[in-house]
Structures are given as structure tokens and as C-alpha cells.
Structure 1
Amino acid sequence: MMSKRFKILCLLLVAAIILAAILNLNTGFLSLSFQDFFQVTSQSQIAEIRVNRVLIMLLAGISIPTSGFLMQEYFQNPLAGPDILGITSIASLSVAFYIFFSHDILLPEFLQNSFISLAAIGGSLALMFILLSISNKFQDKSYLIIFGFLISAFAGAIVSLLQFYAENQSLKNYILWSFGANNMVSRNQVYVLFILIITGLFLCFKTIKPLIGNSLGTSYAQSLGVNLKHLKLLVIAASSLLSASITAFLGPILFIGIIVPHFCRLIYNPSKLWQQWILNMFLGMLIMLLFSVIAEKTQIPLNVISSVFGIPVILMMLLKQSKV
């Protein structure tokens, strides 16, 4: 049963999400009327771009925090996340390889977008399998974070090397992609992303109950009938699909997968995983919509805003843990 406090939190977040979405639709260089969104007018295309922007931010707000939530609960580490463990960096590297080496291949636009998505998801899946295969070799799972930093540094070095030798147009395409240009996403891309995220959320749904058992300890989880190997595969598939699909279409949106689960644990009981998952999605949608408004107002790239917001929060988390 959901508590009264949880219901109030959800209602407040839903109201804030609706207000932030309306603010997004009214943010831009031109003022739009109500008719522009529902009738064919001279500014209908601009209205469609803004609607796509809101939809993509809602999907990003659902998927990135969910990915971080899954990894933090599985590794029992509040600093685990798709960017800290290098998943986002490897997804970015995979997309960089595709952008830099596919410029001579003529493909329809929808196929190009599909291959970008496949490259990001494939790269992140490969890294997740590596991470989880070596996780048993580390007695302290915090070593995985160090491993993730090394992977991120390695991926960054390879991307820099590719940029050094890249042609001008390929370099420009990659830079635009890495900025997190949410205005560049088309309605067809929104549909593709929606399908990917729904698939990831279904896998996530399958993990919550086993994660509750896993949080009580490996031996206790096994006594409850939790298949730990199956859980590991589900976490791999769900978190990689959710984080990599957003990375494919929006570029690397950093630190959101770490700080949103952290805030959710502060405002509600951390042991209630079902409720935590719901709060992560609601709070993630609100934060991404607000970041989108800031990006439109300031013309600062989305990933820069997320980093400026996320880094101080993570530093405070580290200082808080060091005092415990």
C-alpha cells in the first residue's frame, strides 16, 4: 500500500512536471499561440519542434535516473551510474566511430539514426558485460568506480584522437551530437526512443522484486529463490538500453543518473524500491524539463548544464560519506 506521504509527493511532482512542460512549450525565440500547437499555421513547425523537445526530455528524465537507480541498487553503491562507470563514455565512443567512419556510406536518415542508436547500445552492452564479469573479482565493489573512470579516460582519449584526424563535417556532426541538442530530435526519433525505453522499463520492472531480495544480502536473496545470474543479466540489459538509447539521440547527459536517485533517497524511504523507482522517474522528468528551459534561455549545451549541476552534488555526497 502506498503511504499518504508518497501520494502527496507524487502529486506535487506531477503538478511541477506539467508546469515545467508548459514553460518549455512557451520558451524560445518566438511567441506561439495555442492554435500553433493544434492547427496548421505559419508557426506549426516551430510548435512541433517544441513538442518534440518536451517529449524527449520526458523520456530522458524517465530513462537516465532509472538506469542509475538500477545500478546503485545492484552494486549497493550511491556513486554507481551509467556515466561514472564508463557506460556513457563507451556509448559516446561507439557513436564517434560510427559518425567518423560512415560519412562515405549513403543511407536514408531513419537508418542513420537507427545505426547511431545501435552503436551506442552495443558499446554500452559490451562494457556492462565486462563490468559485471569482473565485479566478482573485486571484494570492494567501489573498485568498479575506479575501473569506470579508467574506461572513461580511455574512451575520451580515443575520441580525441578521432577528432584530431576527422574531416571537418564529421567533426562538426560529432560536436553537435555531444552538446545534447534536444531541438534536433525529430518525431520519428521520438517514436524509436519511446520503443527502446518502454522495452528497458519492462526489463526494469522485472528486476525490482529480485533487487529487494538482493539488498538483504546474497545468501538471503538465494534463500528467497532469487536467481542472481538472471538478475545480473536483467540489470545489464535494462540499464544499458535505457542509458545508451538517450546517449544515442541526445549525446552524453552526465551525472543525472547519480544525483536523481540520491535526491529520491533523501525525500523518501530508501528501502521502498517500488516507490523509489516511481519517484526517480517523476523527479528525473522534472529536472530534465527544467534543464531544457535553462538550455533554451542561455543557449548553453544540455550536457554542460547537467555537469555544472551534478558535480557539486556528487562532491557533497563524497564529503558526507567520508564523515560517516
Structure 2
Amino acid sequence: MSNKFKILCLILIIAIVLTAVINLNTGFISLQIQDFFQDSTNSQIAEIRVNRVLVMFLAGISIPTSGFLMQEYFQNPLAGPDILGITSVASLSVAFYIFFSHDILIPEFLQNSFLSLAAIGGSLLLMLVLLSMSNKFQDKSYLIIFGFLVSAFAGAIVSLLQLYAENQSLKNYILWSFGANNMVSRNQVYVLTVLVIIGLFICFKSIKPLIGNSLGSSYAQSLGVNLHQLKLLIIVASSLLSASVTAFLGPILFIGIIVPHFCRLIYNPAKLWQQWILNMFLGVFIMLFFSIIAEKTQIPLNVISSVFGIPVILLMLLKQNKA
């Protein structure tokens, strides 16, 4: 590893530690150190803040990794779980679950699992459709247009469901769509951790074939890369990572696009192993930073990510147009 990469990692680790500490001390009530380790009047508030930091850590790892995998596979810097419609379809699946599951008796400890399964199932279905369409489109940029159409269609169905939903179901969906990171329980953190670990393991198996794929499909096959297997790995890993976070935190938009973009700006984009590590470190820092802003301003997390992400993507488009 180069000295530049080590320095970047060290800076990001220090930034992550600082933002995590600030997160633990951000809220309406000031906490003492013993509140995090002993039973006290504020120990429940301390647990909520710890859960908030943990879920931001997991989201910061998952969403940029999903975007990184898709951008490298499609060779398109605008590819991502939200642009290609994965986040929208995951949101639609969650909407169906929230609006129609109130008539079904589901044990409380299984409700979170079904919520994540709904989001992951919807995103997997869309990824299968996207990859089948990629074989028909010679220009993969058409997939971006297809993703926008899917997002618009999913949004229209969600709006229709909201129109006829009961008041409590509608309230639950709106609260979920705001990205309320303070509402995530410890059991949900455990479920999300398991899903993220599985997704990261699949990503680990995908990096080496992706390096060969970046040199061209013919050259990749000559190196022994199984392109069909690589496609399946990308489907499962990207969908699992993005949809699991969407299930518990709501749609966190544009992070999967801008974080890989920043990482390519600060370090050699050809070194995929290092790029993946930088994506995770930078993603965790950005999510923790956004969490601080959300707590200070009481603005929903997905609104903050959109306000930050839209200008960055616009600048990316202008830069590509000039090139």
C-alpha cells in the first residue's frame, strides 16, 4: 500500500472517531460517561444514541459499497442503487408491507425480518430485470433512463397506496420514509449487521473478477473470469446492502453515487481494493456527519442527503459534458 493511501485512511479514521463522539453527545439532554455503561435515569437515551451511531456506521459501509459495485460493473459513474431504481423499488416493497400487513398477525420479533425481506426481495427482482435489459441495450447508459422510469413508476404506486391507506399505516410509512435513525432498536441493529456482513462477504468475492472485467469482457474471460457468476454476485451484493439499509432507515438517496465519485477523485480509481476501503471509510464519515446535522436541525436524514447529493451529481454531469 502506498503512503498516500495510508495517510488518507488515517485521516478518515480520525474523522470517524470524532464524528462518532460528537454524535453520542448530540441531543436535547447532556449525558455523562457513566450513562453509557451503567443503569441510570438517562441510560435509555444513551442506548438510543449508541444505536444511532451503529446504524450510521452500517449505512455508511453498505450504501457506498453498493454504489461502488454497480459503478464498476456498469462502468458508469452515475450508476447507483437510487438512480437505477433499486431504492425506489425497495421503498415500494416496504410500502406494500406496511400498508397491508396490519391485517396479518405477525409476531413482533419477526416484523423487522419481514420488513427487510420485503425490501431485499423487491430490489433483487429489479436487479434481475436491469441485468436482463443490459443484455439488450448496447449502450448501458440506457439503463440509467430505465432506472428513472422505474423510480417514477414506483413513486406513482406508492402515492396511490398512500391515498387509500389507513391513518396509522400512512403515519408509519411517512415516519419510515424520513429516515428516522433514532427509531432503530438494538434488535434491528443486530439484523442489519448480519445482512451487511453477508453483503460485504459477497462484495469481497466480487472485487477480483471486477478488476478483470474493467479491462474488457474478452480479456476478463481469457483470465478465467466467470462473467455470469460475476453478474449474480453484483446483483445479490448490491441489492442486499442497499435494500437492508432502506428497510430500516428509509431511502437514503445519492450517497451511493457521490461517495465513490469522491474516492476516485482523491485516489487512483484503477486500484479497486483500495477504492473499496476508501468508500467504506468515507461513507461512514459522511453518514455520521449527516446524522449530526439531522439531530442539530431536526431535518430528516434523506432530505439532508438529497440537498447534499443533487448539486454534486449536477457538477459531475457538467464535468462529463465538458470532457
TM-score category (smaller protein)? over 0.9
The match for 1:260 is: 259
- Equivalent position amino acid for 2:83 in 1: I
The match for 1:160 is: 159
The 5-angstrom pairing of residues 91-170 of structure 1 reads: 91-170=90-169
Structure 2: distance between partners of 1:307 and 1:12:
25
- Equivalent position amino acid for 1:267 in 2: I
The match for 1:198 is: 197
Number of matched residues? 323
CA RMSD, 1 decimal: 0.4
Structure 2: distance between partners of 1:107 and 1:46:
28
- Equivalent position amino acid for 2:208 in 1: K
Structure 2: distance between partners of 1:221 and 1:268:
24
Per the TM alignment, residue 308 of structure 1 is displaced from its structure 2 partner at its CA by 0.2
Stretches of structure 2 lacking an aligned partner (at least 5 in a row)? none
1:139 is paired with a residue of what secondary structure? coil
1:102 is paired with a residue of what secondary structure? helix
Give per-residue Cα distances to partners, 1:296-317, cap 9 Å, x unaligned.
0000000000000000000000
Q: What TM-score do the two structures reach when normalised by structure 1?
A: 0.99
The 5-angstrom pairing of residues 153-232 of structure 1 reads: 153-232=152-231
Structure 2: distance between partners of 1:212 and 1:136:
20
Structure 2: distance between partners of 1:45 and 1:106:
29
Structure 2: distance between partners of 1:311 and 1:49:
30
Per the TM alignment, residue 275 of structure 1 is displaced from its structure 2 partner at its CA by 0.1
Stretches of 4+ aligned residues off by more than 3 angstroms:
none
The match for 1:6 is: 5
Per the TM alignment, residue 134 of structure 1 is displaced from its structure 2 partner at its CA by 1.1
% identical aligned pairs: 85
The match for 1:88 is: 87
Stretches of structure 1 lacking an aligned partner (at least 5 in a row)? none
1:144 is paired with a residue of what secondary structure? helix
Per the TM alignment, residue 91 of structure 1 is displaced from its structure 2 partner at its CA by 0.2
Query: Do structure 1's residue 70 and structure 2's residue 69 form an aligned pair?
Result: yes
1:27 is paired with a residue of what secondary structure? coil
Structure 2: distance between partners of 1:152 and 1:116:
20
- Equivalent position amino acid for 1:206 in 2: K
Structure 2: distance between partners of 1:110 and 1:216:
47
The match for 2:19 is: 20
Per the TM alignment, residue 109 of structure 1 is displaced from its structure 2 partner at its CA by 2.2
